[in-house]
Amino acid sequence: MAWNEPGNNGKNNDPWKQGGRDQGPPDLDEVFRNFGKKFGGMFGGGKSSGNNGGGASAAIVLVLIVAALVWAFSGFYTIKESERGVVLRFGQYNSEVGPGIHWKPTFIDTVLPVDVTSVRSLRSDGFMLTQDQNLVRVTFEIQYRVFDARLYKFSVVDADSSLHQATDAALRYVIGHSIMDDVLTRGREVVRQNTRQELEGIIEPYKMGIALVDVNFRDARPPEEVRDAFDDAIKAQEDQERFIQEAQAYAREIEPRARGQVNRVMQEAEAYKQQIVLKAQGEVARFDKLLPEYLAAPKVTRDRMYLETMEQVYSNTSKVMVDVKNGNNIMYLPLDKMLNQGSGATTPSGAVPFTPTRSSTDSSSSNRTDSSRTTSTRSGRG
């Protein structure tokens, strides 16, 4: 027998109605109807007169709940590690948030992320007039970063465009006060430094929240019509600088060597000075010791000093001169030539050459006898 057929003394066998209560699943229409009754007064509908009015109110409430959930979840946003978030409330600056996940009321707050870590680049180039009325094309590159997100967004209308215009103004001012040779060759570093100083002075009053990292002088070229002539001039200047550097390198190489020679000569002079001083001091000491002997025997001391001096003098010469007693002639023996000829070829006669000054043989023999006699006497004295 079916559960919904009456029977068994008129009792219903419905499993959802046990114990006198209806335990069946709830009716969705009834749920929405009850929900509409509770919140219908909030929207000016009053009590619903029928099922259709209650269902419409419930649908509206459901839509509003879903919209509220969507609005709540749409307020979550993320700021990257390299960024800072500028919060605007109804279009006006409110606060600044750091990296991480945040929530904002949608349609009320607006968040503008600003990169404050990366280094940005800005390029400026164009034809410019130099101080000497020449036209040159200059290319500059500016590197900068943002350090204040609020100033970057609200100090000027467009900070990047303002920086570009300030760079053009600073560069044209510096190029206009420089000659073309300096811009093209040796004065590029000066132009770069002056441009950076001028640019910092221009952007400082505007407080754009921008800090310059570097200013690079990329290129400087003359017009194409005169480019070949300027290339030759630049090459000549480069050769000039190269020759100057080579000369400086040569000077740096020669100068230490010359200083070393000067020091060596000075040291040798100092050593020679000390040698002479010490030798003179030794001579003085020797004469101081000879003085008592000279006072005791003057003649003997003089003869001995004379003989020692002559011995020292004659030991350094290869020529011999013999004085003949009671004669006007002096015999000269060129021993140096005799030694040189003796070491080489002999004379045809086989005799040893010498040049006596006397013509007679007897006088020569007598001179030799007297010289030998004089030599023996001097040796006896020694």
Q: How many CB atoms lie within 10 A of CB 368?
A: 14
Bridge partners (DSSP) of residue 138 are 126, 220
Q: Which superfamily, per CATH, for 120-222?
A: Band 7 domain (3.30.479.30)
Place of tokens 């000067």: 262
pLDDT of residue 167: 94
Alpha-carbon gap, residue 358 to 180, rounded angstroms: 95
- Quote the CA–CA distance of 111 and 95 in Å, as a whole number: 10
pLDDT in tens, 53-97: 556 777 888 888 988 899 889 889 999 999 999 999 998 999 999
- pLDDT confidence band for 181 (50 / 70 / 90): confident
Rg of the chain in Å (alpha carbons): 61
In this structure, are residues 36 and 57 in contact, taking their beta carbons and an 8 Å threshold?
yes
Question: What pLDDT score does 80 carry?
Answer: 92
Most confident of 226-235, 260-269, 290-299: 260-269
Given this model, what pLDDT does residue 32 score?
59
Give, in order, the Cα–Cα distances in Å from 180 to each of 2, 229, 328, 372.
111, 13, 95, 98
Overall average pLDDT of the 204-213 stretch: 93
Phi, psi of 20 (to 5 degrees): 80, 5
Which has the higher per-residue pLDDT, 310 or 362?
Answer: 310
- C-alpha–C-alpha distance, residues 93 and 52, integer Å: 48
On the question of pLDDT at 373 being above 50, the answer is no
CB 78, CB 113: distance < 8 Å: no
Query: What integer pLDDT is reported at residue 353 of this predicted model?
Result: 45
Output the CA–CA distances (angstroms, integers) from residue 134 to 18, 172, 220, 233, 284, in the order listed.
108, 13, 12, 15, 84
Per-residue pLDDT tens over the stretch 103-124: 999 889 999 999 999 999 999 8
Paired sense of beta strands 109-115 and 210-221, if any: unpaired
Is 266's pLDDT higher than 80? yes
Return the pLDDT at 55: 64
Q: Parse the chain into domains and list their residue ranges.
A: 25-73, 76-115, 120-222, 235-316, 317-346+353-371
pLDDT class of 202 with cuts at 50, 70, 90 = very high
**pLDDT (tens digit, 9 = 90+) per residue, 329-353?**
665 666 667 667 666 544 444 444 4
CA distances from residue 231 to 9, 87, 238, 351 in whole angstroms, order as listed: 123, 55, 10, 87
pLDDT at residue 313 tops 60? yes
**C-beta of residue 319 within 8 angstroms of C-beta of residue 334:** yes
Residue from 259, 189, 175, 254 nearest 222 by CA: 175
